Amino acid sequence: MLGDLKGRVAIVTGGASGIGVGICKALAEQGAAVVVADLNEQGAAATAKRLAGDGAKASAVGVDVTKRDSIEGMVAGTLRKHKQVDILVNDAGIIGAPGWWEREHDSDEDWQKVFEVNVRGLVMCSQAVTPHMLERGYGKQVNIASIAARRGGEVPSYCASKAAVVNWTQSQAARLALHHVNVNAICPGLLWTPMFEKLADRYSSHSVRKAYRGKRGRELFEYMVQEWIPMKREQTPEDIGKLAAFLASDDAKNITGQAFNVDGGIYMN
């Protein structure tokens, strides 16, 4: 089976919602035991329950990726339970501080919060599993960036944070290569998740593109899909999950330091 993960143990941050659910599902389908980690503990438990209902090994843990203690607790708990961590998928992310979707421009708090979660949080999660991976000479780290990393846009703090994720992926991949730890990033395109619902609210009121103003929710999302995506179809959490599972497997053992667009052809780099 391509992307076989039998006997592997994976931690997925952001596993309570949207893309994270698709990633947990794909890893579980390939045979990994999945630790679903999220600030939203109830949501993480719901994902784990769903996976277990499908016959997978899954458990949930509450984590705040902005708190080193909380991350260390997540990793220590996983090691107690499973004795190993083979895979870390860093999916947890935000677009801004609470209420960002109502603001025309990113506030100081947005800049601070988005870098705290998307960059510093992701880096701290990687740092927490890396010593264990180095010790075993084995590990896979997959970072969820965004096509926003490819070009600046209307939410500059978010775009800059995702560009930082791609750059960090390269640094970490270079540092860990000799130890056979692979580090890659995925840049998802447009996915209709709770995060995008809020983005549609912001664009609907504040976009510099006049055509977006007044269109709401799903209607605006579908308009953007047609405008942006050469293949004229939206991406799904399953699309991202399948690539994450492949990158987390030994079939991708010679792939490291890369960032893959899953965007129906928006960016071709």
Ligand X SMILES: NC(=O)c1ccc[n+]([C@@H]2O[C@H](COP(=O)([O-])OP(=O)(O)OC[C@H]3O[C@@H](n4cnc5c(N)ncnc54)[C@H](O)[C@@H]3O)[C@@H](O)[C@H]2O)c1
Question: 117 or 142, CB closer to ligand X?
Answer: 117
Q: Is 158 a catalytic residue?
A: yes
For the bound state, the minimum distance from the C-beta of residue 202 to ligand X, rounded and expressed in Å, comes to 13
For the bound state, the minimum distance from the C-beta of residue 242 to ligand X, rounded and expressed in Å, comes to 15
Tell me how far apart the alpha carbons of residues 69 and 47 are, in angstroms, rounded to a whole number.
24
Residue 81's H or E segment, with its range, is helix 68-82
With binding defined as CB under 6 A, does residue 66 bind ligand X?
Answer: yes
Tokens describing residue 52? 């277990």
With binding defined as CB under 6 A, does residue 252 bind ligand X?
Answer: no
Question: Which residues contact residue 111 at a Cβ distance below 8 angstroms, ignoring those fewer than 6 apart?
Answer: 157
Among the listed residues 9, 28, 51, 117, the single contact to ligand X using CB under 6 A = 117
With binding defined as CB under 6 A, does residue 18 bind ligand X?
Answer: yes
179 backbone dihedrals φ, ψ, rounded to 5°: -100, 10
Candidate ranges 36-44, 134-142, 225-233, 247-255; the one touching ligand X (CB under 6 A): 36-44
Total residues binding ligand X (CB under 6 A): 30
With binding defined as CB under 6 A, does residue 144 bind ligand X?
Answer: yes
With binding defined as CB under 6 A, does residue 91 bind ligand X?
Answer: yes
For the bound state, the minimum distance from the C-beta of residue 153 to ligand X, rounded and expressed in Å, comes to 11
With binding defined as CB under 6 A, does residue 124 bind ligand X?
Answer: no
DSSP helix/strand/coil, 68 = helix
Catalytic residue among 138, 158, 212, 223: 158
The answer to whether 119 and 172 have CB atoms below 8 angstroms apart is no
Binding mask 173-212 for ligand X (x = CB under 6 A): ---------------x-xx-xxxx----------------
Helix and strand counts by DSSP (H, E) for the chain: 9, 7
Question: 7 or 217, CB closer to ligand X?
Answer: 217
For the bound state, the minimum distance from the C-beta of residue 1 to ligand X, rounded and expressed in Å, comes to 26
With binding defined as CB under 6 A, does residue 14 bind ligand X?
Answer: yes
With binding defined as CB under 6 A, does residue 17 bind ligand X?
Answer: yes
Tell me how far apart the alpha carbons of residues 203 and 253 are, in angstroms, rounded to a whole number.
40
Tell me how far apart the alpha carbons of residues 198 and 3 are, in angstroms, rounded to a whole number.
34
With binding defined as CB under 6 A, does residue 64 bind ligand X?
Answer: yes
Q: Which of 225, 236, 226, 223 is nearest to 262 (CA)?
A: 236
Candidate ranges 1-9, 91-99, 133-141, 246-254; the one touching ligand X (CB under 6 A): 91-99
Question: 3 or 241, CB closer to ligand X?
Answer: 241
With binding defined as CB under 6 A, does residue 63 bind ligand X?
Answer: yes
The answer to whether 21 and 28 have CB atoms below 8 angstroms apart is no
Burial of 50 (0-12, 13-18, 19+ CB in 10 A): middle
33 backbone dihedrals φ, ψ, rounded to 5°: -80, 130
Residue 238's H or E segment, with its range, is helix 237-247
Tell me how far apart the alpha carbons of residues 32 and 249 are, in angstroms, rounded to a whole number.
10
Where along the sequence are the contacts to ligand X (CB under 6 A)?
13-14, 16-20, 38-40, 43, 63-66, 91-94, 117, 121, 144, 146, 188, 190-191, 193-196
| Catalytically annotated residues | 158
